Structure 1
Amino acid sequence: MASRLLTSALFAGFCTGLIAALLQFVFVQPVLLHAELYESGQLVHFGAEPVSAHPDLGGIDVMRDALSVLFSALVYTGYALVLVALMSLAEASGAKITARTGLIWGIAGFVAVHFAPAISLPPEVPGVAAADVVARQVWWFATVAATGVALALIAFARSWAAWAVAVVLLLAPHLIGAPHPDSFAGTVPPELAAMFASRALGVGLAAWVVLGCLAGHFWQREGLRQNAAA
């Protein structure tokens, strides 16, 4: 079981990490680099003449890009380990795990890790006002945990009481409220911040769908291979 879990997670996570890194290079990184020009003062949004929305973002930074690929692969491998472990528990309870059902698992992972926290604490570009980072991290982890448990209750519980608890867990982090700064300020145009948030969420959705499908595929394949070897 352990070898099946590790093999499935490593293959699924590493492949997804590479795909996610490619999507980030194409869609997210240009927006991030653009925002950094405002953060550093090279571009000015308020109180200055209008500037081009398509500045020269410079050439390829090999070290930064390589570290981004490595970080993406490690992060999604970690996500894959958690996802495959949960899949194994679900299969032990009678659920069927395939690439097709894995897609649903991937969407659920996106909702828990990206979408639900972003409702109250959206992805932020450099140069914007933000609350204390520790407070935001605590709120993010609590929101991910509460949303994950809520989705599990919705999917596998069979009572109205459990579904009611799920609704409470989904709402609680947002009713409590995410940490926000006392006042809003920043040098980055709001249009750029909105584009960054939407593209970050879009890439996250695509990556989690791929991760779910690959995790389901490799989990099923490794199970068939081990059964055949036995």
Structure 2
Amino acid sequence: MFTSALFAGLIAGLIAVLLQWSLVEHLTLEGEEYETGNKTHFGGVLKINEAAGEVQITTPDETVEAEDGELTTRLSLTFFATIVTFIGWSLFMNAGFAVAERFGQIITMKDALLWGIAGFASVHLMTGIGLPPELPGTPAEDIELRQLWWITTAISSALAFALFAYGRTPVFIAVGFALLLAPHLIGAPHLSEYAGLAPPELSGEYVARSLAVGMMSWVVLGLAAGYFWNRGADTQSA
């Protein structure tokens, strides 16, 4: 199970990193320009060179070298963090496969795909209803409250989808709907007023692309986990 989870997590993590770098990373960097004050969207895009109140004199070559070094470090950390994260999600998914098969469910490739979609819905879509992805510098409520709501919502959503798929009785379906709706009826922690530094168009594009990357990555994870799981089962039976 660990080997299957490792390979599936590596594949999904690599896809997620490539999608992140090609579709989202430049939006994050753009958001940081507004966070630091180098740009502002009031009255158009305005360059502010003395945002920090002090001027540092550097040559163009030194500036480019510093930016390249910082970007390399950022991409390296993103790469390893994403890989480790998807290996962790893959371990959870394989553990779920094992529990399902213990109760007599056969995990086919179609089932694995649905597991991947359910994982995306639990981790990204349902949590994103209350706490959508945010650009750097976006003011927000206390991080511990948001983390607690996010974790609770992800777990309750995953349980709800499991009940929808395998409950097969009206009682389980009703409990699933209750678990799915409860976090949103309680409400995610938010500030009393809207506030933001970046243009709303940039924020909207960031949310849309982040969810798209999450969807594609989880679909790949489900398919890869299902492939290695069934391959392992075939090897054991042989």
TM-score (norm 2): 0.88
1:110 is matched with 120
State the secondary structure of the residue aligned to 2:136.
Answer: coil
Matches within 5 A, 1:118-197: 118-197=128-207
Take 1:204 and 1:49, find their aligned partners in 2: how far apart are those partners? 31
1:129 and 1:183 in contact (8 A); partners too: no
State the secondary structure of the residue aligned to 2:208.
Answer: helix
Gaps of 5+ in 2: 48-63
Matched, 1:10 2:20: no
- Over the residues paired in the alignment, what is the CA RMSD in angstroms? 1.6
Take 2:45 and 2:39, find their aligned partners in 1: how far apart are those partners? 10
- Cα-to-partner distance string for 1:163-203 (whole Å, 9 max, x where unaligned): 11111111110010000012221211011111111111000
1:130 and 1:180 in contact (8 A); partners too: yes
4+ residue segments displaced more than 3 Å: 48-52, 57-60
1:98 and 1:213 in contact (8 A); partners too: no
State the secondary structure of the residue aligned to 1:186.
Answer: coil
Query: Paired residue for 2:79, among 65, 69, 86?
Result: 69
Take 2:45 and 2:21, find their aligned partners in 1: how far apart are those partners? 27
Stretch of structure 1 that moved more, 138-147 or 120-129: 120-129
Take 2:128 and 2:86, find their aligned partners in 1: how far apart are those partners? 19
Deviation at 1:96, TM superposition (A): 1.9
TM-score (norm 1): 0.91
Tell me which amino acid in the other structure corresponds to 2:6: L
State the secondary structure of the residue aligned to 1:122.
Answer: coil
Matched, 1:45 2:45: no
State the secondary structure of the residue aligned to 2:39.
Answer: coil
Take 1:118 and 1:14, find their aligned partners in 2: how far apart are those partners? 25
Between the two proteins, the alignment pairs up a number of residues equal to 219
- Cα-to-partner distance string for 1:65-118 (whole Å, 9 max, x where unaligned): 111110000000000000010011112222222333211110000011110000
2:39 and 2:45 in contact (8 A); partners too: no
Take 2:73 and 2:198, find their aligned partners in 1: how far apart are those partners? 26
Tell me which amino acid in the other structure corresponds to 1:113: V
Take 1:168 and 1:200, find their aligned partners in 2: how far apart are those partners? 27
1:24 is matched with 20
Take 2:147 and 2:207, find their aligned partners in 1: how far apart are those partners? 18
Identity among equivalent pairs (%): 44
Deviation at 1:162, TM superposition (A): 1.2
Tell me which amino acid in the other structure corresponds to 1:7: T
Deviation at 1:59, TM superposition (A): 4.8
Give the structure with higher Rg (CA).
Answer: 2
State the secondary structure of the residue aligned to 2:144.
Answer: helix
